[in-house]
Amino acid sequence: MAMVAIPEKFNLRVNRGDTFIYCALIAVVGFSGMFVISIHSFSMDELEAGRHWKDDCRTLEVNMPTGAFTSPVNKLDCDGIIINVPGGQYYSYIHQWELYKANSK
């Protein structure tokens, strides 16, 4: 593959195979970095969910176990509608909403 990507007529004074491997590693690191950045960003819908859960809902139960292989949930009463929200998602969305609200002031 490296022989096709880097023609033999170029004298780079380095091994063409090594150059290809280094370029491939740089590409993998770049895509991994983009993936990590996209994982830690929140959309406006998720921020709106955090605002709704914090301002419009009342917590009924916290960290309610739901089974051996599932995460605990928080039971919320939102205007008479009972919803179960995974605990980790609940806390991260509310935390992100508070950060967004503090930064927008």
pTM above 0.75, yes or no: no
| pLDDT, tens digit, 9 for 90 and up, residues 7-16 | 666 666 667 6
Pair 57, 86 in one domain: yes
* Domain count along the chain: 2
- Give me the pLDDT at residue 12, please: 60
| pLDDT, tens digit, 9 for 90 and up, residues 70-92 | 889 999 999 899 999 999 899 99
Pair 22, 53 in one domain: no
Pair 30, 53 in one domain: no
Structure tokens that stand for 48 in this block: 């709106």
**Domain of 65, in residue numbers:** 44-103
- Alpha carbons within 13 angstroms on the beta-carbon side of residue 29 total 6
Pair 48, 97 in one domain: yes
Structure tokens that stand for 65 in this block: 């176990």
